Structure 1
Amino acid sequence: MIRGLYTSALGMLATQTQSEVIGDNIANVRTPGYKEELASNRAFDSILTDRIDSGNVGSEVTPIGSMVTGVSVDRGSVSNAQGALQKTDLKTDLALTSPGYFVVKTPQGERYTRNGHFKLNANGMLQTPDGYAVQGQKGSIGPLSPDFSVTADGTVNDKGQVVDRLRIVDIPETALTREGQSLYSSSQAVQGSANPQVLQGSIEASNVDLSGQMVQMMTVMKAYEANQKVIQTQDEMLSKAVNDVGKI
């Protein structure tokens, strides 16, 4: 019975974590390049259980099997599904229509993003709205004039000259760690994309399925309430076992 209390409580904590993930996804449904965060349940590691037999000579331990004490939530992986393309006609807006991520330079090192809503700073350097320099094969891209162009393979041209080529890398979704809304770091070495496809004048919208997230939220809420009722029932049974059975 006590084990049941712990199991149900862990179930409530798991559904709470799931609701937080869903809430983050819904809050970023309009964030360009945002990738839906995924959360999956997993059982805690099973533990071996023994029966202790007490006797006059000593005590013997008899293995009786294993048990699982509850469930937890793994979060952090993201969905790499393509988001819808939104046409803006801005030269600085770039969208990836193929797998991969843009590379930007931050004070913490290189980070990766699908959010191609870029801008030119006062010196003509291509950067994110937060001021992180967009990286090319030669380093930070620029200076550029307002009339620069980007071809489908990521080559940046300005005033009839090739300036650089965008660095676009492939990263498995399991290796991504979210930092903020649309920046990611990678837990493993990244590799350049073999065949990147870039569309200038458009941005990729969030790939969050709002209706699907609402359905998941309802499912999680029902699971939370179910675990809550189980705890209440077990608490009442435990109370009767202590207070009523003991009087017999």
Structure 2
Amino acid sequence: MIRGLYSSATGMIVTQKQAASIEENLDNVRNPGYREEQNIVTSFPSMLLERISAGSGAEKVPIGGMGTGVNADRLAMKLGSGLVVETNQPTDVALVSEGFFVVQTRAGERFTRNGHFELDEANRLRTTAGNLVLGENGEIGPLGPNFSIEYDGTVRDNGEVVDRLRIVDIQGTELQREGKTTLYNTTQIPVPVARDTIQMRQGAIEESNVNVNDQMVKMVVAMRAYEASQRVLQIQDQSIEKAVNEVGKV
């Protein structure tokens, strides 16, 4: 009976975490390059129940298993591209194909799908947070007013090749978002994406891949699951109270 309390309580905790993730997704729906986050829900180990017959040395007869609850201990990034929107800003770059831009932060290299870039005071390509965008040869720049970025990431300035945007591939489940940004980190070694598979579009950005309607449905489901677990918890509590009172009368 006590185990039933744990199962219901862990179910409520998981749905709370799911609701928090949904809220985070909705908050970032207009954030370029944001990837929807999903909770990875796992079950605690189940317990095997056995019936023990009376008498010494009696055989234990398995009568089935019992779940001990669930847990949501980590987040995974949902793969899939967002809508590409034209901005006509030369520093904006939409990565249409798979992969991630590489940027240099104070903590090291990080990865992003957010191509809303700008030029710094030295005319180097950087993110709006001030992190330099990396090419195959390092930082990109200085760039003149007539620079261009081709579909494969080649950066030209007045027709001359400056560098090529560095694009890498990483398994989505291994990426961890840093704080409230669209920067991701990983313990994996990023793999360079083959040039002939890269597709970019200058003067455009990729929006988030969050579907608002889908998130609203998930929120309703999560709230109903929370309410169901709450009702079960109340029933378990009432059963325990009744059992304690009945025992007290014996």
Which residue of structure 1 aligns with residue 2 of structure 2? 2
Gaps of 5+ in 1: none
1:184-222 Cα shifts (integer Å, max 9, x gaps): 112211111122111000000011000000000000000
> Which among 196, 202, 209 is matched to residue 200 of structure 1?
202
Secondary structure of the corresponding residue to residue 141 of structure 2: coil
Partner of 2:220 in structure 1?
218
Corresponding residue of 2:115: 116
The 2-side partners of 1:47 and 1:138 are apart by 56
| Displacement after TM superposition at 1:53 (Å) | 9.4
How far apart are the structure 2 equivalents of 1:123 and 1:143?
6
- C-alpha distance after superposition, 1:120-152 (max 9, x if no partner): 000001000111110001001111112210000
Shift of the alpha carbon at 1:225?
0.6
1:102 aligns with 101
- Retained in 2: the 8 A contact 1:91–1:146? no
Distance 1:225 1:93, change over 3 A: same
The one-character-per-residue Cα deviations of 1:58-115 (angstroms, maximum 9, x if unpaired) are x999585654310112532111211001110001000011001000011111100000
Distance 1:171 1:18 in 2: 24
SS in 2 for 1:208: coil
Secondary structure in 1 aligned to 2:76? Answer: strand
Amino acid at match of 2:216: M
Q: How does 1:22-171 map to 2 (within 5 A)?
A: 22-47=22-47, 64=62, 67-171=66-170
Partner amino acid, structure 2, of 1:118: F
* Alpha carbons 2:40, 2:76 under 8 Å: kept: no
Query: d(CA) in 2 for partners of 1:71 and 1:63?
Result: 27
Gaps spanning 5+ residues in structure 2: where?
Answer: none
Change (3 A) 1:163 1:234: same
Aligned residues: 246
Q: 1:54 to 1:108 in 2, by over 3 A?
A: farther
| TM-score of the aligned structures, taking structure 2 as reference length | 0.91
TM-score (norm 1): 0.92
CA distance in 2, matches of 1:193, 1:61: 61
- Give 1:88's aligned amino acid: T
Computed over aligned residues only, the root mean square deviation of the Cα atoms, in angstroms, reads: 2.1
CA contact (8 A) 1:123 1:143 kept: yes
Cα distance between partner residues in 2 of 1:81 and 1:192: 19
Among candidates 227, 242, 245, match of residue 244 of structure 2: 242
Structure 2 Cα separation of the partners of residues 192 and 62 of structure 1: 57
Distance 1:50 1:108 in 2: 54
Identity %: 51
